[in-house]
Amino acid sequence: MSKQELVVLGQEQADGCCPTLATAPLDEERAADLAKVFKALGDPVRLRLLSMIASRDGGEVCVCDLTPAFELSQPTISHHLKLLRQAGLIDCERRGTWVYYWLLPGMLERLGDVLRVPQPTGGRG
C-alpha cells in the first residue's frame, strides 16, 4: 500500500465505512482527541461515574445521587464530572440547587466503533 492509499482513522473511506484502530493508523489530531477521552476514562472514579450516568433509567442523574456512591467529597465528585464533560463524554444542566448529568448521544457507540476489531470475511490462507 502506498502512502497515498493509506487510510487514516477518523476519515471516511470511499465505501462510507469508518476505519478502526485495527484497520488504519490514527492521524495526529484524532489521536489527540481520543487520548483526552481515554485519559478521562483512565481513572476508576470517572469510569464508575460514567457507568452510573450511562446506565441510569431515564438517561440522566442528579449529582446528589452520584455523590453517596463514593467516599469522596462533593467538590471532588464535581471535579471528576467536569473532566468527563471536558472530554466530551457527558453534559449537564443546573436545575435549582442540583446539577443533572447525561451521556452525550452516541458517545459509547463511537468509542466502541473505534475499538472494534473487524471480523474476518473469509477463511485463512
Query: Does the model's pTM come out above 0.85?
Result: no
Q: For residue 46, is pLDDT > 50?
A: yes
Of the candidates 84, 79, 77, 88, which has an alpha carbon nearest to the alpha carbon of residue 110?
A: 88
Residue 7: its pLDDT value, please?
A: 34
| DSSP symbol at 106 | T
Torsion of Cα atoms, 107 then 110 then 114 then 119, to 10°:
130
Provide the grid cell at 87: 472530554
- The model's pLDDT over 48-105, given as tens digits with 9 standing for 90+, comes to 999 999 999 888 999 999 999 999 999 999 999 999 999 999 999 999 999 999 999 8
Provide mean pLDDT across the span 99-125.
79
Domain ranges of the chain: 3-115
**CATH fold of 3-115, please?**
Arc Repressor Mutant, subunit A (1.10.10)
Q: Please report, as a single letter, which amino acid is at residue 16.
A: G
